[in-house]
Amino acid sequence: MLKKLTVLALFLISQLANATNKNTAQQVWFDPDISFAQRANLLVNAMTVDEKIAQLSHATPAIARLDLPQYNWWNEALHGIARNGKATIFPQAIGLAATFDPDLAHQVASAISDEARAKYAIAQSIGNQGQYAGLTFWTPNVNIFRDPRWGRGQETYGEDPFLTAQMGTAFVKGLQGDDPKYLKSAGVAKHFAVHSGPESLRHHFDVEPSQKDLYETYLPAFEALVTQAKVAGVMCAYNAVNGDPACASAQLLDDILKKQWGFQGYIVSDCGALNDFQAGHKVTKSGPESAALALQSGVNLNCGSTYEHFLKAALEQNLVPLELIDQRLTQLLMIRFQLGFFDPAGLNPYNEVTPDVIHSPEHINLSRDVARKSIVLLKNDNHVLPLSKDIKVPYVTGPFAASSDMLIGNYYGISDSLVSVLEGIAGKVSLGSSLNYRSGALPFHNNINPLNWAPQVAKTADAVIAVVGVSADMEGEEVDAIASADRGDRVAITLPQNQVDYVKQLAAHKKGPLILVVAAGSPVDISDLEPLADAILWIWYPGEQGGNAVADVLFGDTNPSGHLPLTFVKSIDDLPPFDDYAMTGRTYKFLEKAPLYPFGFGRSYTEFSFNDLTVSQGKAIEGEALTLSVEVENRGDIAGETVVQAYLSPIARMNNEAISSLKSFKRIHLAPKETRWVELTIQGKDLYQVNNAGETVWPQGRYSLAVGDSLPSPRSLELGAAPHQRLEIKF
C-alpha cells in the first residue's frame, strides 16, 4: 500500500511540475539559467506596490498574473515537523542537548528535513499551501536557558553558550542540507536576542545586559549559526535590548548581525512583535510608524499584520521609500528561490525524497535512540538498576506513567505510535511478571477523592517505579501552558506538592526499591525526594518512543549516558530575581553555591576513569588550538557511553570571570574493560575571553585544565562522578 501511495504522490508531483512549467515558460523569473538574485529582482520589479507589501507578511497571497503561488512562511520543526499532521516526534530540544552529541543532532535534523520535503510535496499535490505546510522552519531556539522558571527553556539546548552553539550549528546544517545551490529546508535562529523570560513581561520588557554578558553569553550561539551554519533566517525577539525593541535594534540587526557577522538571510519578527512597538514598548505612536521602523531596521518578514495594515500608509506618508520595500522583499524572495520553488522539479535533488520517509521505521528507531541517550541517571544506590526483566511484581505509578502528553513537550507533531512509560515497561518485562499500575496522583492538584489505595500497593511490589514531573501544560509559551499560574513560566521550581506528598507515601509503604522517573523540560528541585529514592532517572520530554527508551534503561538493554545541559540548583532562593539578566549567580559558570546536580553530570551502570592527561603545549599561543589527550577506561563489565568534557578554570579568578568554562567535549563508547586514548581539540577562537567592555581578549595568567565526564566541582565528586585529570596552562 505504501509503495502505491508513493508512486501516486510522485505522479501527482510530476504532473503539477509539468503544468507549472508550461504555464510559467514566459515568466523570466522561472528561468533556471539566470541567477537567483537576478530572478528575485525581476520578480519584485514586476509587482505592484500592493503586491509587494502583501508578500512581506507571513501568509503571502498568490499573484496569478505572475504565476506566483501563495506561500505561508510560518512553520515549526523544533523536534520534528510540528502542527502539520503525522510526523516522527523526537525528544524535546533540551533532551537532545543532554546527549552532548552534535552528530546525533545533525541526524535528527536531517530526518526532520527529509520528512519536511516529502510532506511538502504531498501537501502541494493536494493544494494545501497553508500554515505549517511549508519548508521555512522557525527553528532552532538558541536562547540561553539562564533561569529554570522560564517555561520555554525546554526548547533550548541549555545554559552553556558553547554547547548551544555546537548543537544548534549541527541542527541547522541538518535542516538546510549541503547542496551548494539549494536549501533542503530553511532554518531560523531565534529569538534574537537576550530573550529568556519572564513570559509575562516579554511584550514590553527592556533588557540591559552588560557588554560582557551580551557578547560572552547571549550572542555566541547566534554568531555560530550565522557564520558557521549559514542559517537562512533570524527571528528578532519581543523584548527590548538597551532601550530599543529587538526588532528595531540597530545594534542587533545592523551592526552585529549584518556588519560584524555578514548575515545575508532574512529577518522575521516574532509573531505580533511589531505591534509591541506601539502597544508595549511605546516607541512609536501609530501603526504606520511601527511598520516604517521595522522595515528601516531590517525586518524582511512580519509574522503578524502590521505590514499588511500599515506599510502602505507608511509609504504614502513618506516614512519609508519604495526602494527599501523592494530591497527587503528581494532579500526575502531569495529564500524561496534557494528552496527551489521556481525551478523545474528535476533540478533540485531534494525533490527526490519520497513519502516513505515520513514516520519511517528508521526515524522511529532514531527517536528511540536519541531518547535513550538523553536519559540522565542521577542516582543509583546499591546498583538497584538495572532491574531484572523477570521481576515478579513491578509496580508502575505516578501521574505521568501512562501519559502520552508528557512525551511530546511543546511545539510537537502528531504520531500514531506514542509509547508511554507504562506501555514501554509492559513490553519489556516477562509475561509472567505481575505488573501492576495505578496513577495514584493527579498531575498538578490534590486528588478529589481522599480515599486512595495506590500508596498501599507499594507494600506488595518488588520495585516501585514512580513517574512524576511536570508537562508542557505547566511550562511553555505564554499562550499554551494552560496549567501555569504565570503565563507559561513556573512560579516555583519544586514538584507540585501533591506529587511530593504521594512519593513520600510510596516511600513509607515500599517493600522494594523506589525508582523515581522524572519528566520535565527544566530543572526541578527534588531535594525532599532525593533521599527517599533508591534511583533517579531524568527523562525530559522524551518523544514518541519515550516509554520504550525508559524501559530500555530501566531493564538494562541500554546503559544510561545522558549528561545535564543545565545546573539544577537546590532552591529557587539560590537564584537572582527572574527578571535580572546579569549572569552573576547563574549557570555553572557563575553560581557560587553548591547545586543539587551540577552541569555535565550523569552516571552510568559502569564506571569510567580518566588518566594521563597530556596537552600539546603547556603555554597557550594566541589564536592557536590546544590538543588534549586523555586515557579513558571502562572499568566495568558492561559496555557504556560517556561524554568526555574539558573545562578551563582560572587559578586566580579575577572580578566577574567565569569559575569554569566548557571548551570541548566528545561522546565515546567503550566496551567492557576497554581503555582508549581520546583526543580533544580546543579551538583557538574558543580560548578568547570577553572583557567588561565586551571586547574579545586573549586570557592572561594561569589556568587549570580539567578533563572528566562532569563539571570539575566538589559536588560532582560527592554524587559519584569520576575524578578529573588536571593540568596547568599558562597564557
Give the torsion sign (CA, 597, 602, 608, 610). Answer: negative
Cα separation, 291 vs 313, in Å, equals: 9
Residues 501, 706: Cα–Cα separation, whole Å:
41
- DSSP assignment string, 548-582: HHHHHHHTTSS------SS-B-S-GGGS--TT---
Q: Is the dihedral of CA 508, 511, 513, 518 positive or negative?
A: negative
Structure-block grid coordinates of residue 365: 528507531
Cα distance between residue 582 and residue 718, in whole Å: 29
The whole-angstrom separation of Cα 503 and Cα 534 is 12
- CA–CA separation, 18 and 21 (whole Å): 5
Residue 468 and residue 401 in contact, taking contact as beta carbons nearer than 8 Å:
no
Chain-centre distance for alpha carbon 509: 39
Q: How far is 441 from 449, CA to CA, in rounded Å?
A: 10
Q: Cell numbers at residue 692, please?
A: 567588561
SS3 238: coil
Q: Which residue has the cell 529569538?
A: 191
Q: In angstroms, rounded to a whole number, what is the distance separating the alpha carbons of residues 558 and 590?
A: 34
- C-alpha 230/C-alpha 680 separation (Å) is 25
Is residue 270 part of the annotated active site? The answer reads yes
| Nearest of 406, 391, 427 to residue 517 by alpha carbon | 406
CA angle 257, 269, 138 (to 5 degrees): 85
Q: Is 337 helix (H, G, I), strand (E, B) or coil?
A: helix
Instruction: Tell me which of 101, 114, 270, 552 is the catalytic residue.
Output: 270
Q: Phi and psi at residue 473, in whole multiples of 5°?
A: -70, -25
- The answer to whether residues 343 and 517 touch, using CB atoms and an 8 Å cutoff, is no
Annotated catalytic residues are 270
